[in-house]
A and B are shown apart, each in its own frame.
Chain A
Amino acid sequence: SAVISQKPSRDICQRGTSLTIQCQVDSQVTMMFWYRQQPGQSLTLIATANQGSEATYESGFVIDKFPISRPNLTFSTLTVSNMSPEDSSIYLCSVIQGGYNEQFFGPGTRLTVL
C-alpha cells in the first residue's frame, strides 16, 4: 500500500490568509484526491488531481478558493485561500492503488482559522 505524508500536520491561521498543504506519496500514482473532514461531519471530496491536467472540482468547491497543483506523479498541493473560520477542518489527501479503486489516505492536516 502507498505511504502518504502531508505537511503541515496542523496549523493555526488568521482570517484572510492562505495556507498550502503538501501531499507526498512514496510511489507513482495517477489519481490523487483531496478531502475535507469538518468537525463532526463526514469526509467530503474537494477535487481530483491528475498529473498533467487541471484538477476536477466537486460541487461546492471552486478553483479560486482551493487551487491545486499536481506537478508530478508523487506530489500534490492544495491551497486554502482567503481563509475564514468556516475553513477550519482536517484536509486529507488520498491515492488509489490496486485494481479495485481502493484508496489510501494521508494523515491529514488539521487547520484552525481564527
Chain B
Amino acid sequence: AQSVSQHNHHVILSEAASLELGCNYSYGGTVNLFWYVQYPGQHLQLLLKYFSGDPLVKGIKGFEAEFIKSKFSFNLRKPSVQWSDTAEYFCAVILSGTYKYIFGTGTRLKVLA
C-alpha cells in the first residue's frame, strides 16, 4: 500500500537556523505532492505543491521543497526559520489523476526565540 514517511517527529530550532524536514513516499507512479502546515489553534493550510515541471517549488512564507523522483522524496526547506514558523507540518501525496490524499504522520516544529 502507498505510504508517506516523515522521519522527524519533533524538531526544535533556534530562530535563524536552517530547516529541512524529510518526506518520502512509496509509489512508483506519477504523484502530486503537498506540504500542509497547521499553526497552533488554526486549521490546515497549503504551504506548497508540486504537480510537474521544475522540481524545486516555492511556497508561502519563504518555504521551498524539492522533488527528487529517484529518491521518492519531497523535502521541505527554509533557510532561516522564525518563531512564527512554530507549527505542525504534514507531507501529503496523491496519485496523479486521483483525489485520495495520503498523509505523513506530521512533524512538530518548535522555534525558540
A96 at the binding interface (Cβ < 8 Å):
yes
* Chain A residues within an 8 Å CB radius of B103: 42-44
Q: Which label, helix, strand, loop or mixed, suits the secondary structure of the A interface?
A: strand
* Chain A residues within an 8 Å CB radius of B100: 45
Q: Which of B32, B43, B46, B94 contacts A108 (CB 8 A)?
A: B43
Contact A101 to B99, CB < 8 A, known contacts A41-B105, A42-B105, A43-B90:
yes
Contact A96 to B99, CB < 8 A, known contacts A101-B94, A107-B43, A108-B43:
yes
A86 at the binding interface (Cβ < 8 Å):
no
* Chain A residues within an 8 Å CB radius of B46: 102, 104
Point out residues on A near B: beta carbons under 8 Å.
4, 31, 33, 40-45, 48, 92, 96, 100-108
